[in-house]
Structure 1
Amino acid sequence: MKMRSRAGFGAASLVVALVLTGCGGGDEGAGGEVASAGRSTPGGASASGSAHGTDELAGYVEAQREWVGCLRENGLDAPDPDAKGKVDLGDARKAKSDPKFLVAQEKCQSLVPSVPDSLEREMQPALSAKEIEQKKRYAKCMQEGGAPDFPDTDDKGFSKEVAWDSTSVGAKRAQRTCGSIVGVPDDAAPAKG
């Protein structure tokens, strides 16, 4: 099973945040910047700053422009995305009761692009030294406890994007053994198998 749940979860979280908190239309200066997620953009995961990462960002910004164009066609006064694809739609609270926004959002949902992995990582808050050490201890415990293919953790606390078998008996045993390192209670660990 490919370990891409963090990116998938992050993208899904952004879509939920966009819909639930709303992106109020037309109230400039309120600071409601939005990065949206949903549809794939050109390119794959990459390190920030690489040529591939630049192409990935350019594809994301272009996809955001397409989404903004759709919002405009459906009656919403939406600004252009910034250099990182963020779209400032103003006061997010107003969107919940703005029928114009809700209609435009629904009609344009299929154009909402996925946030590239490199940009998503930039948007996440930096982890403390203690949190990074905790994630590294968890990775080492998993690898030594029965999941030798579990991904290493980099110096910023991110797991490297590698495929690993989370369904093997060894992996399940390691998850039960190591879960407490990252705050997973014993009763929430995968069942024995």
Structure 2
Amino acid sequence: MRQHNGLVAALVLAAGLLAACADTGAQESPSAAPSAPSAAPSDPRDKARAFAQCMRDNGVDLPDPDPDGGFDTGGSIDRQSEAFRTAMEACRAYAPGGDLERADPERLDKARAFAKCMRDNGADVPDPDPDGGFSSLAPEDPDDPAWQKAYAACGDELGRPAS
């Protein structure tokens, strides 16, 4: 079950990143137009690498994902900074989990099904925000057997990458 920690971290990071940037109200600076890759890869691991590269290209020092597609930032990224918000806006389509802010009804239904499944399997997970993101998806202890069991049972609801 330990193999899912990287993916859990990726989902948590993506949910947190997207929730932090839902509506910043910031105006784009014409002198600092963000850059993004031209097309998002379809493979989740390639998409995670493209996301990391896009974030770096836009001024955020995000390391490459681990082999499971997860990110270990060590808490070093200030998600409230203007640089982060600008980079996230530029790279949103490449974020693990997709563009949750602009969730279509089907994606929102999947996020709700994931949250319900997690709760039904013993993990304390809130319902998604109306945009399909989770304001707080991170478990207090990602190694908690109850969380691991629930995620093993429910991760497919969000289309996790194959291990």
Q: Which TM-score tier does this pair reach, normalised by the shorter chain?
A: 0.3 to 0.5
Q: Comparing both chains, which one has the higher relative contact order based on Cα–Cα distances under 8 Å and sequence gaps of 6 or more?
A: 2
TM-score (norm 2): 0.46
